[in-house]
Chain A
Amino acid sequence: EVQLQESGPGLVKPSQSLSLTCSVTGYSITSNYWGWIRKFPGNKMEWMGYISYSGSTSYNPSLKSRISITRDTSKNQFFLQLNSVTTEDTATYYCAEEKWYYFDYWGQGVMVTVSS
C-alpha cells in the first residue's frame, strides 16, 4: 500500500520560503501524479499543484509564481516550495497521490504556521 509522509518546519517567518518534503513508500513516484493540498484554519481546502510521473508540473493559478514542486526519484520524494509566505499561508499541508483525477492516498499532514 502507498504511504506518504510530510516533513518540514512547523514555523516559518513572513516573507520567507516554506519548504516541505513528501516521502513516499510502497509506490514509485515515476508513476501517477503527486500533489499538495492545504487546509486552512476554518476548514477551507485548496489544491496547490502536482508533479507528474514524467516530472511535469501543474499549479493552482491562485499561487501564481510563488510555488514550485520538484522531486528526487532516487529517494522517492517530492517537494513543495512556497515563496514569500504571509500569515494567510498558515495551514495544514498534505501531500497525496493522484490517480485518475482523484486523490486516493494522503499523508498525515503537517501544520505550518507563518509568524514572526
Chain B
Amino acid sequence: DVVMTQTPVSLPVSLGGQASISCRSSQSLVHSNGNTYLHWYLQKPGQSPQLLIYRVSNRFSGVPDRFSGSGSGTDFTLKISRVEPEDLGDYYCLQSTHFPRTFGGGTKLELK
C-alpha cells in the first residue's frame, strides 16, 4: 500500500496566522491518465470529514480561498491563510491514485 506521511502531527497556530501541512507519499501519485489524485479533508470536532481540496489544488464547492493546495509527484502541501476558529480540527490527506486508497495519519490544527 502507498504510505502517506503527514507532518506535523500537531500544529499550534494563532488566529489570523498561516498554517502549512505537508503530505508525502511513498510512491508517485501521478495516475497513468496523467491526473494526480491527492485530496485534503478537514474533520471538525464532532463532525464527519469534509472535502476541502481535490486533485491537489482544486477547492471544493463552498471552500474559502484561504485554503490552497499545491504539490506534485510525492510531495504535497495544504496552506491555510488567515486562520479562523472554524478551521481548527484534524486535517487528512487521501490518495486515490493507487489501490487501495490510503489516508495520511492526520494533523491537528489547534490554537497556540
Contacts and interface: CB of A to CB of B under 8 A. Distances in A.
Nearest to A58: B99
B48 A109 contact: yes
A26 interface: no
A94 B48 contact: yes
A94 B94 CA distance: 15
B8 interface: no
**Which interface class (under 10, 10 to 19, 20 to 34, 35 or more) fits B?**
20 to 34
Contacts, number: 52
A99 B23 CA distance: 22
A48 to B, nearest CB: 9
B71 interface: no
Contacts of B54: 100, 102, 104
B69 interface: no
Contact of A44 (B51, B60, B101, B105): B105
A106 B96 contact: no
Interface of B: 1, 35, 37, 39, 41, 47-51, 54-55, 60, 90, 92, 94, 96-97, 99-103, 105-106
